[in-house]
Amino acid sequence: MSWETVIGLEVHAQLSTKSKIFSGSPTAYGAPPNSQASLVDLAYPGVLPVLNMEAVRMAVKFGLATGASVAPRSVFARKNYFYPDLPKGYQISQYELPVVAGGHLDIVLDDGTKKRVGITRAHLEEDAGKSLHEGLPKQSGIDLNRAGTPLIEIVSEPDMRSAREAVAYLKKVHTLVRYLEICDGNMQEGSFRCDANVSVRRAGAEKFGTRAEIKNINSFRFVEKAINFEVARQIDVIESGGKVVQETRLYDPDKGETRSMRSKEEANDYRYFPDPDLLPVELDAAMIDGVRATLPELPDQKAARFVATLGLSEYDAGVLTSSKELAAYYEEVAKLLAGGPDLANNTPSKDLAKLAANWVAGSLAAALNEHNLEITESRIDAQRLAGLLARIVDNTISGKIAKDVFEAMWAEGKDADAIIESKGLKQITDTGAIEKAIDEVMAKNPGQLADYRSGKDKLFGFFVGQVMKATGGKANPAQLNELLKKKLAG
């Protein structure tokens, strides 16, 4: 019996406004506890919320970037429940009338095909504070610095069919909010987090299975692990004759498992109702158009441009546009290689674009990954990488030697020319020198030579290797190939 997984995600993205959504307090992370909590954040008697319109603009930006409709009138509602880090006893959120509804994002599946994931809605709400337990035996501390930080909750349709798809979607959202500069995407600090609604059903079944909601997963890796664990658990429950119950579960990254937090019966009745302290948010076309004018080139648009004008593969284009900074880095390398300051007017040849793409998405990405660095922290800047690639293009070094030069650049922080010079890595392009090396290799290996000449073509590689070895890898590969063919032919 085969099973189908059904996943929908709720992403909470903290908006990068300077002040909170309903008070003037700053939103900076990491300040001493309660140093960024005003009387409004502390829910003192008599205080009132005032909406920060910048948060609304950011939500509208997200809506426009996902092809959603922006509501001309949206309403804040109160979600009522008691918790110490929720000072008012209710969270101000949007319920029936969210600011954004009906968008979508396209993801690329493992087999290269595209899939569209629907976005049901994106609504504005305020974050809660934090309860602190460490170092407080038998007590709980409350830090309300985070209380009132603006969030958008992005709710997807249950369109994803595997943990991999869910991760691809989550990464897409992550990329987008950072492109839009509405969220810093920092998962460790909790500014980007996600809940996953997971259910399974028999392949071909129309009705969804009963879902479990996995709360507060804070890394891409955990999303995949948590979903896979949960799917296996649910299948196991059903196959051993049980029923999946609707509940909220928590993912424990240490044990790699999800466990029950509360069942549907224990769930709060949030008693949502429109917040009488806030007027409905009314947005006119001029406001929405104003926000539209601030939209940057979006990741999908940029990737399409890379494919159309630079001739990159969709895969490369997707990788290189996965962050705005990476794309900018790549474009700079390509521009410098082409020799002009403006890529639009000075498009590099497709070969150069491809060369730059291979290096940025290949060696550079690997090095960054290995050292756990962001592109903005790269030890080799775009200028230097372009300098290295220029030496490949002008045949000063081979691609293979270039890898060694790259490593030395990374380690020593010098530019390519200095390393090529100091290590004597300049490619041998002198025909005479290469011919001399070939002659010596042929003289040393009479047996192999005879075999080759009697038809063992495969031995060509052997001779290439020997000559490269003799020249310290510096022989120009194309020249070597040509000369070697001639000489071996006799």
Partner 1 sequence: MHTFTLAELAKKLRAKEFSVTEITKSLLGRIEASQSKLNAFVTVTADSALAQAQAADAALASGKAGPLTGLPLAHKDIFCTRGVKTSCGSRMLDNFVSPYDATVVEKLNAAGMVTLGKTNMDEFAMGSSNETSYYGPVKNPWDLSLVPGGSSGGSAAAVAARVSPIATATDTGGSIRQPASLCGVTGIKPTYGRVSRYGMIAFASSLDQGGLISQSAEDAAMVLGAMAGFDPRDSTSVDTPVPDYLGTLNAPLAGLKIGLIKEFFDKGLDANVEKLIREALKVYEKLGATLVDVKLPALPLSVPTYYVVAPAECSSNLARFDGVRYGYRCKDPKDLVDLYKRSRGEGFGAEVKRRIMVGTYVLSAGYFDAYYLKAQRVRQLINQDFRRAFDEVDVLIGPTAPDVAFAIGAKMSDPIQMYLNDIYTIGANLAGVPAISIPCGFVRGLPVGLQIAGAHFAEGKLLNVAHMYQKETDWHRQMPAAFKPEKLS
Q: Which residues bind partner 1 (CB under 8 A)?
A: 39, 42-51, 78, 80, 82, 84, 87-90, 140, 142, 269, 271-273, 276-279
* 132 Rama class: left (phi>0) / alpha (psi -120 to 50) / beta: beta
As measured in angstroms, the least distance from the Cβ of 81 to partner 1 is 9
Q: By C-beta, is 140 or 383 nearer to partner 1?
A: 140
CB 9 within 8 A of CB 211: no
CB 52 within 8 A of CB 124: no
As measured in angstroms, the least distance from the Cβ of 93 to partner 1 is 13
Q: By C-beta, is 112 or 280 nearer to partner 1?
A: 280
Phi, psi (deg, nearest 5) at residue 326: -65, -45
As measured in angstroms, the least distance from the Cβ of 88 to partner 1 is 5
Q: How far is CA 167 from CA 11, 170, 173, 217, 443, in A?
A: 12, 5, 10, 12, 58
Tell me the residue type at 243: K
Find how far residue 259's CA is from the centre of its chain. 28
As measured in angstroms, the least distance from the Cβ of 49 to partner 1 is 7
In whole angstroms, what is the distance from residue 458 CA to residue 422 CA? 36
Q: By C-beta, is 82 or 432 nearer to partner 1?
A: 82
Q: By C-beta, is 82 or 113 nearer to partner 1?
A: 82
CB 163 within 8 A of CB 7: yes
As measured in angstroms, the least distance from the Cβ of 96 to partner 1 is 11
Q: By C-beta, is 127 or 332 nearer to partner 1?
A: 127
DSSP characters over 95-125: -SS-SEEEEEEEEE-TTS-EEEEEEEEEEEE
As measured in angstroms, the least distance from the Cβ of 95 to partner 1 is 11
Q: Which residues contact 307 (CB under 8 A, 6 or more apart)?
A: 313, 314, 317
The strand order across the sheet containing 69-70 reads 69-70, 100-108, 114-126, 150-156, 3-14, 192-202, 212-217, 247-252, 257-263
In whole angstroms, what is the distance from residue 90 CA to residue 81 CA? 6
Q: By C-beta, is 128 or 142 nearer to partner 1?
A: 142
As measured in angstroms, the least distance from the Cβ of 295 to partner 1 is 28
As measured in angstroms, the least distance from the Cβ of 36 to partner 1 is 15
Q: By C-beta, is 271 or 456 nearer to partner 1?
A: 271
Q: By C-beta, is 39 or 393 nearer to partner 1?
A: 39
In whole angstroms, what is the distance from residue 187 CA to residue 177 CA? 13
